[in-house]
Amino acid sequence: MLNRGRNIEKGRVITRRMFILAAAKILLFAGISSRLYNLQISDREKYEILSDKNRIREWKTPPQRGIIVDNFNKVLASNDRVFQLHLILDEINDFDLTIFKIKNIIGLDQFEIKKLYKKKERLKPWDTLVVSDNLTWEQFSKINLYLHELEGAKPVLSTSRFYPYSNDLVHIVGYVGDASPKDLEKPEIKENFVPGLKVGKYGIENSQEKMLIGNYGIKRYEVNASGKRISQIDYIKERQGNKVNLTIDIEIQKYAQELLKGKAGSICAMDIYTGEVVAMASSPTYDPNKFTHGINQKDWQEIRNNPLKPLLNKSIAGLYSPGSTFKPLVALAALEYGILDPNKTIRCKGHNHPYELYGVKYHCWKKEGHGYMRLRNAIKQSCDIYFYEMARLLGVDKLSIIAKRYGLGTNVLGEIYNDEKKGLVPDTKWKRRVLEQSWYLGETVINGIGQGYIQTTPLQLCLMTAQIANGGYKIKPHIIKDESINYKSVINKIKLDQSNFPLHERNYLDDINVEYYQRMYHKKSNINFVLDAMFGSTNEQYGTSYKSRYDDPKYQFAGKTGTSQVRKITDLDRELDLDTEQIEYKKRDHALYVAFAPYKDPRYAISVIIEHGGSGSKAAAPLASKLIKRIIDRHKLREQFNNGNTSLA
Amino acid sequence: MLRERIQASNYSFLDKLRSIDYLLILLIIAIGSISVFAIYSTEGGKFSFYTKNHIIRLSVFFSLFLVLSFVRVSTWYKNAYLFYIVGLILLITVLFFGISASGATRWINLYFLNLQPSELMKIAVIICFARYYHRIQSSDIQSYKFLIQPVILLIIPCYLVIQQPDLGTSILIAGSGIAIIWLAGLNIKYFVYSGLLLLVSLPFAISVLKPYQKSRILTFFNPDRDPLGAGYQIIQSKIAIGSGGFFGKGYLKGTQSYLEFLPEKHTDFIFTLFSEEFGFLGSIILLFLYILLIYRIINVGLVSRSFFAKLYCFGFATAIFLYVFVNISMVLGMLPIVGAPLPIMSYGGSSLLSIMLGLSIVMSCKIYNQEQISVY
């Protein structure tokens, strides 16, 4: 019985303990259920997103770059069909073997293979390796022939940048290349970048990236855990970049470039009312197409080591003393401030009796002297003595106000070119601030003939000429078509203002900001005087560019020559009086010429600079003359086209 | 004594059939069928290797279960120690002749099946302990003399299994052994003390763990520590379950498993796949089936007369609970990944065999529930 009692007790213990355990089990199961609830109901969305992220992988498809066209919609930068070879890395079992086979088929050298391996290291295992982005047709067809032997190889028909006018436009349009880490910091590139995409490196290609780059497409694939594509789910098509419409006329640009062939220099042409840059040539030049697929070392060294500096965009980044081309502006400033009567005569006595100031001698360029000069003749024949005296009377600060107003000392095209130079228009404050010295009167004197501290770019000189030629109105120079400007109304407005000649309400002699298409002058007669003197310089006997003139009023133009010294002329030089050809190239003067045409009812301004070309009248003016004829011949076409009659294109 | 024997032998076949727990059989069939569908899904909806094998094993072992159910419970009782010794011998055999896979030596090649003795040991320990405590008087249970024996009996197989290495199974073996000691009525203070001791010795225990086990434990506390390495399984499993939502992604539509983001989806992570495809609702239903199964097993214990049957059923129920709990908590990221299959659901012959064996003993307890078992 005792045994029985014990057994009952034991049975009770077991049952009791079982129930305690059962309670614990229920609690733990409840814990599991609440966890399930948490994952599957509370946090469901979070895990759904994670699951989609897992199973869906995106491949970006590169967009086509926007095209660049000239004023007449001629394509300056297009997208050409190219043959490429891609390797889909996750389809390759033996990378080395595949590369070896490809090497034998298309003939890669050791250097290229090394580069491929380096490239591969940076890619993810499911990425695509671009083996070559520009195969020849022969290589491409060979690859297709052996395709069954090449795992993961994918011959691709793609597009790449092509510049049909290669050398003629590189300084304007620029070129593209592989994106550098610095490029990738730019938001417009960062947001739209796809591996292998070419980005703008210079010029319009670079500064208009936002317009040109377009948006990449997205192909979404369902993939498995090892990244293999199972099926395509979604395809958002890529969007081609926008068209960029330039104001350049490719025919004139080409001709300008041709005129500069074999020389170092620049030619700029501008519409004096609309501010459209019609041509902006810089020489020597180079082929932007070479950069698209990575330039080879030899070509690069050739460009880099050329002493004539092809990489320098001379129109906007070349700095030159304006020389005598500055004289019309000096004369205008003197007249505007009423410093001198244009009928005042000054005698130029030649090298034997130079201009003297505090014991320092200043010579005229003409050895035998000009004799008695009035202002008009002084501009026409470019007499330095007259301008020394005039500058002395005017003072550098007043001159700098007018020079800056007419476009010197600031960027002409704003943000378009990252290498555009501002140049320098000196004044007394500038010298004290930057050089921490006081201004000498002698510096004012040589400033009067465009020498000394003053530095200008060819495009600035072109703008200066344009703004004098249009009657002294401020224009907005630009190289990309600006749809917001109604050219017709702008021209009409300026012409109406010219003829109305109302009373001046503002004092235009102060250092003020002038609005676009507003007058910049104080007295209209002063502008007309300068224009007339420039007419004389080209179209009258003894004028410095008389030989380049046209008698036909359709082409007749007015201009001003300039010769910019690259070093100080010594007494010995004066004695020797060598011809340009006899001087060492580096020491020769720069030849300059600015002009506007046609003289009656002018429309275009032009500036020409030939580095170390000698005198402006011999080296620069004849080129300007040729180009002016071409520009005027094409004027009607341009006018019709811009007024909406596109059928003539 | 004589009466009992007569009573036992007097069970007619009809009586036996009548006392079978049909609900239990129904539950086994239900969970078994679900497992076939789940494994079919792991193969992406193709009727191939795993599905075929699983169906064959299920039918063979289920038949075995039915046959063994009619073995007298006293026979199980008599051979309990033998069962344990055979298990131990097999474990030692693994040590010398075992075959290896992915860094662990756990299996013996039996040609038709790679037997994993540690799985059998799970049952062996329960049946052995049930017999041991069956004969011990309740007054003796608290004495050290009678406590030291089961502790040794437990430590030997656990140590052997850890050596394989297989921490998960070892913990499950220990768990079910301790459960029976608890059921037998050992004073609660022993559990408290040994629990404290375990906590204190935990740092030392961790220092002897294999590097992969350590990393699993570290990863458990912070799965993002190494999302593509040790944390991968936990993260992907949680993503799969969480993205299932209330109704699930639909049968054969679980993207996580279909696209092979889930590791070991047909064994340890079968619940993840099921939960992804059938959602919260399906998971709760499956969980409920397991609860029912455990309840039925406990019920058998309650209606059994002998302590052996009671201890065995309660112990086995606790073991099933432990397997289910550890496995699901693991895939839900509540416990470290230790490698514990989900009973019946997971693909794996040994695990299925031992569960079916265990269930057949339960059924035998049910059929012969009136049988008294002599202490000697």
pLDDT tens figures, A177-204: 888 888 888 888 888 887 778 889 999 9
Mutate which of A7, A8, A36 to disrupt the B interface (most B C-beta within 10 Å)?
Answer: A36
Give the C-alpha separation, B244 to B238, whole Å.
10
Residue B363: name the closest of B71, B29, B61 by CA.
B71
Contact A534/A559 with Cβ under 8 angstroms? yes
* B182 neighbourhood in chain A, CB within 8 Å: 17, 21
Q: Is A319 helix (H, G, I), strand (E, B) or coil?
A: coil
Relative orientation angle of helices B22-42 and B349-367, to the nearest 10 degrees: 170
Q: Provide the pLDDT confidence category of residue A101 given band limits of 50, 70 and 90.
A: confident
CB contact under 8 A, A230 and B260: no
Res A499 pLDDT > 80:
no
> What is the reported pLDDT for A352?
86
Count the helix, strand and coil residues of chain A and give each as a percent rounded to the nearest 5: 45, 20, 35
* B280 neighbourhood in chain A, CB within 8 Å: 36-37, 40-41
How far, rounded to the nearest angstrom, does the alpha carbon of residue A227 sit from its chain's CA centroid?
Answer: 43
Residue A424: φ, ψ to 5°:
-150, 125
Give the C-alpha separation, B297 to B366, whole Å.
9
Q: Which of B240, B311, B328 has its CB closest to that of A32?
A: B328
What average pLDDT does this structure show over A129-137? 83
* B298 neighbourhood in chain A, CB within 8 Å: 18, 22
Taken in order A439, A443, A448, A454, the sign of the CA dihedral is: negative
CB contact under 8 A, A55 and B256: yes
What average pLDDT does this structure show over A144-158? 80
How is chain B split into domains, by residue range?
A: 2-367
Inter-chain Cβ pairs, chain A and chain B, closer than 8 A: 128
Residue of A nearest to B317 (CA): A22
Residues of chain B with pLDDT under 50: 1-6
Q: Provide the pLDDT confidence category of residue A227 given band limits of 50, 70 and 90.
A: low
Q: Which residue numbers of B have CB closer than 8 Å to A's CBs?
A: 137-139, 179, 182-185, 236, 238-246, 255-256, 259-261, 275, 279-280, 283-284, 287, 291, 294, 298, 301-302, 307, 310-311, 314, 318, 321, 325, 328-329, 332, 334
Residues in CB range of A461: below 8 A, 6 or more apart? A268, A322, A325, A592, A594, A607, A609
Residue A327's H or E segment, with its range, is helix A327-336
Res A26 pLDDT > 90:
yes
Residue A290: name the closest of A305, A300, A304, A302 by CA.
A300
**Which of A117-154 are b and which e, b meaning 16 or more Cβ less than 10 Å from the residue's Cβ?**
eeebeeeeebbbbbbbbbbeeebbebbeeeeeebbbbe
Q: Which of B179, B259, B284 has its CB closest to that of A21?
A: B179
Residue B84: name the closest of B118, B119, B127, B146 by CA.
B127
Strand partners, A232: A221
Residue A417 to residues A172, A303, A324, A649, B249, Cα–Cα distance (Å): 9, 20, 27, 28, 57
What is the distance in angstroms between the Cα of A162 and the nearest Cα belonging to chain B? 43
Res A13 pLDDT > 80:
yes
> What is the reported pLDDT for A282?
94
Q: A95 is written with which tokens?
A: 């990378």
Predicted-complex ipTM score = 0.91
Residue A565: name the closest of A377, A351, A321, A368 by CA.
A321
> What is the reported pLDDT for B56?
94
What is the DSSP secondary-structure string of A25-57? HHHHHHHHHHHHHIIIIISHHHHHHHHHHHHEE
Residue A447's H or E segment, with its range, is helix A441-447
Strand partners, A424: A455
Contact A485/A264 with Cβ under 8 angstroms? no
For A320, counting Cβ atoms within 10 Å of its Cβ (0-12 exposed, 13-18 middle, 19+ buried), the class is buried
What average pLDDT does this structure show over A552-576? 85
* Distance separating the N- and C-terminal Cα atoms of chain A: 123
Residue of A nearest to B306 (CA): A11
The pLDDT mean for chain B works out to 87
Q: A611: which DSSP letter?
A: T
Contact B273/B265 with Cβ under 8 angstroms? yes
Mutate which of A18, A38, A41, A222 to disrupt the B interface (most B C-beta within 10 Å)?
Answer: A18
Q: Which of A18, A48, A224 has its CB closest to that of B298?
A: A18
Strand partners, B115: B108
Count of other CB atoms within 10 angstroms of residue B12: 8
Contact A134/A82 with Cβ under 8 angstroms? yes
* A21 neighbourhood in chain B, CB within 8 Å: 179, 182-183, 314, 318
> What is the reported pLDDT for B1?
42
Q: Give the model confidence (pLDDT) of A263-292 as tens digits.
A: 999 999 999 999 999 999 998 999 998 888
Query: Which of A577-581, A601-605, B224-228, B266-270 reaches the highest mean pLDDT?
Result: A601-605
Res A57 pLDDT > 60:
yes
Mutate which of A20, A40, A126 to disrupt the B interface (most B C-beta within 10 Å)?
Answer: A40
Give the C-alpha separation, B123 to B319, whole Å.
9
> What is the reported pLDDT for B119?
92
* A9 neighbourhood in chain B, CB within 8 Å: 138
Q: Which of A6, A39, A54 has its CB closest to that of B139?
A: A6
Residue B310 to residues A401, B133, B298, B322, B369, Cα–Cα distance (Å): 111, 11, 8, 18, 10
**Which of B184-204 are b and which e, b meaning 16 or more Cβ less than 10 Å from the residue's Cβ?**
bbbeeeeeeeeeeeeeeeeee
Give the C-alpha separation, A132 to A119, whole Å.
12
> What is the reported pLDDT for B5?
47
What is the distance in angstroms between the Cα of B243 and the nearest Cα belonging to chain A? 4
> What is the reported pLDDT for A649?
36
Residue A477 to residues A480, A485, A517, A624, Cα–Cα distance (Å): 10, 12, 11, 20
Residue A55: name the closest of A294, A301, A221 by CA.
A221
* A229 neighbourhood in chain B, CB within 8 Å: none
Count of other CB atoms within 10 angstroms of residue B96: 7
Quote the longest CA-to-CA distance of chain A: 156
Give the C-alpha separation, A607 to A458, whole Å.
6
Count of other CB atoms within 10 angstroms of residue A577: 9
A44-58, A222-236, A610-624, B23-37: which range is least confident on average? A222-236
Residue B116 to residues B88, B108, B164, B262, B346, Cα–Cα distance (Å): 12, 6, 11, 24, 14
Contact A300/A311 with Cβ under 8 angstroms? no
Give the C-alpha separation, A23 to A267, whole Å.
96
Question: Residue B137, CB half-sphere, CA atoms under 13 Å: how many?
Answer: 9
Strands A68-69 and A244-245: parallel
Q: B3 is written with which tokens?
A: 């009466």
Count of other CB atoms within 10 angstroms of residue A352: 9
Superfamily designation of domain A250-304+317-643:
DD-peptidase/beta-lactamase superfamily (3.40.710.10)
Q: B181 is written with which tokens?
A: 């000691």
Give ∠ CA A393-A398-A403 in degrees, rounded to 5. 120
Residues of chain A above pLDDT 90, percent: 47
Task: Verify cis geometry, omega within 30 degrees of 0, for the bond prior to B343.
Answer: no
Q: Give the model confidence (pLDDT) of A359-410 as tens digits.
A: 888 989 888 889 999 999 999 999 999 999 999 999 999 999 999 999 999 9
Question: Residue A627, CB half-sphere, CA atoms under 13 Å: how many?
Answer: 35
> What is the reported pLDDT for B322?
95
Residue of A nearest to B256 (CA): A51
CB contact under 8 A, B280 and A40: yes
Q: B5: which DSSP letter?
A: H
Residues in CB range of B211: below 8 A, 6 or more apart? none
The pLDDT mean for chain A works out to 87
Residues in CB range of A286: below 8 A, 6 or more apart? A167, A170, A303, A310, A311
CB contact under 8 A, B245 and A41: yes
Give the C-alpha separation, B127 to B130, whole Å.
5
Mutate which of B234, B235, B239 to disrupt the A interface (most A C-beta within 10 Å)?
Answer: B239
Q: Which of A10, A17, A43 has its CB closest to that of B307?
A: A10
Give the C-alpha separation, B299 to B365, whole Å.
11
Q: Which residue numbers of A have CB closer than 8 Å to B's CBs?
A: 6-7, 9-11, 13-15, 17-18, 21-22, 25, 28-29, 31-33, 35-37, 39-41, 43-44, 46-48, 50-51, 54-55, 222-226, 230
Instruction: List every span in chain A annotated with CATH 3.90.1310.10.
Output: 58-245
Relative orientation angle of helices B167-184 and B307-331, to the nearest 10 degrees: 140
Q: A392 is written with which tokens?
A: 């002395």
Q: Is B307 helix (H, G, I), strand (E, B) or coil?
A: helix
Mutate which of B129, B132, B138 to disrupt the A interface (most A C-beta within 10 Å)?
Answer: B138
Residue of B nearest to A38 (CA): B242
Instruction: List every span in chain A annotated with CATH 3.40.710.10.
Output: 250-304+317-643
> What is the reported pLDDT for B13?
82
CATH top class, domain A58-245: alpha beta
CB contact under 8 A, A40 and B283: yes
